[in-house]
Amino acid sequence: MSVNALEVRSLTKVIGKKRIVDDVSFSVHKGEIFGLLGPNGAGKTTIIRMIVSLIKRTNGAVIVNGNNLDEQFKETMSEIGAIVENPEFYKYMSGYKNLKHYANMAIKEVSDERIKEVARLVKLEDAIHQKVKTYSLGMRQRLGVAQALLHNPSLLILDEPTNGLDPQGIREFRDYLHSLAREGISVLVSSHLLSEMQLMCDRFAIIEKGRLIHISSMKETMEEDQAAEVVFEVSDSKKAADVLKNQVAASKIKVISEEQFSVYVERTGISTINKLLISNDIDVYGISRVTATLEDRFLEITNKEAVREA
């Protein structure tokens, strides 16, 4: 049985009488990108700060590659590379000199060859000797990842890493994280940008008001056999709608044009509707299921949670 790259057990943070983080537990598998989703103020950054020991935990344990952070602090922290909020560098120095500065402070010895290697990994080898003040925001973010990877950690933790990046920079950063995961590095990333996390993560957890309310794989979430809008292209949409009114609630049927209508139905009901239309001499030219986005699923999950609490 393989050991998880990260296990967070009953993580809790209480300040005064307020529970900022409430009994949160999850794990990150080796070589996967795991996302913490939630609105600003949900507790994502507090969770990350506790994992990397920037703030004290009220309760709970952090396990990295089977090692308890409280029992083997130096060894465990040496397995973690992190960017919490925006990476900061000396702008009057080159990217290389900044990395050299951080290398000198590392617990593990970092060779000049390793600095060159991480510069290549983040695709900064052509600009590594330029001053950081000449770097774009995306380049500074990649330099931050290089700094986090200097000591060759097995777990990379990133808090809102795409903040301020343009679409091209976000895509490049996402592709880079995927390449790291393919090399076996595990990534924990927090964000409130749901569309981006949908493309980036293997699994995710939703944090709301300091509590974990949902956890699943991205693939399972997006492929669930839940009811969805399905668009049919037919010879006569009005006739089709009349036929279906005896089988499907009228409120779930919407005529779009003379040859298109949509119906809100579960996946298993699509073939039944298709057979019904054909048996009533209605030609079916096309069927397309409107795929739900992560934003749709996020709102559905959080709305259910709100109803449960009411």
Q: Are 214 and 221 in contact (CB under 8 A)?
A: no
Sheet holding 253-257, edge to edge: 253-257, 260-265, 228-234, 284-289
Burial 32-66 (b: 16+ CB within 10 A, else e): bbbbbbbeeebbbbbbbbbbbeeeebeebebbbbe
What is the pLDDT confidence band of residue 57, given thresholds at 50, 70 and 90?
A: very high
Q: What is the mean pLDDT of residues 265-280?
A: 87
**SS3 assignment, position 216:** strand
Which residue would you say has higher pLDDT here, 56 or 3? Answer: 56
- Look at 243-247, 255-259, 269-273 and tell me which has the smallest mean pLDDT: 243-247
Q: What confidence score (pLDDT) does residue 222 get?
A: 66
Which residue would you say has higher pLDDT here, 191 or 29? Answer: 29
Please give the share of the chain, as a percent, with pLDDT higher than 90. 35
The answer, yes or no, to whether residue 58 has pLDDT greater than 50, is: yes
Q: What confidence score (pLDDT) does residue 195 get?
A: 80
Q: Are 128 and 1 in contact (CB under 8 A)?
A: no
SS3 content of the chain, % helix, strand, coil (to 5): 40, 30, 35
pLDDT in tens, 84-118: 877 789 999 999 999 999 888 877 788 889 999 88
What is the pLDDT confidence band of residue 252, given thresholds at 50, 70 and 90?
A: confident
Q: What confidence score (pLDDT) does residue 7 get?
A: 94
Q: What confidence score (pLDDT) does residue 148 get?
A: 87
DSSP state of 268: G
The answer, yes or no, to whether residue 1 has pLDDT greater than 50, is: no
Q: Are 33 and 187 in contact (CB under 8 A)?
A: yes
Tell me the C-alpha distance between 247 and 260, whole Å.
18
Please give the share of the chain, as a percent, with pLDDT higher than 70. 90
Q: What is the mean pLDDT of residues 200-210?
A: 90
Tell me the C-alpha distance between 244 and 24, whole Å.
46
- Look at 82-91, 145-154, 229-238 and tell me which has the smallest mean pLDDT: 82-91
Q: What confidence score (pLDDT) does residue 310 get?
A: 55
Q: What is the mean pLDDT of residues 213-233?
A: 77
Per-residue tokens: 179: 């390449």
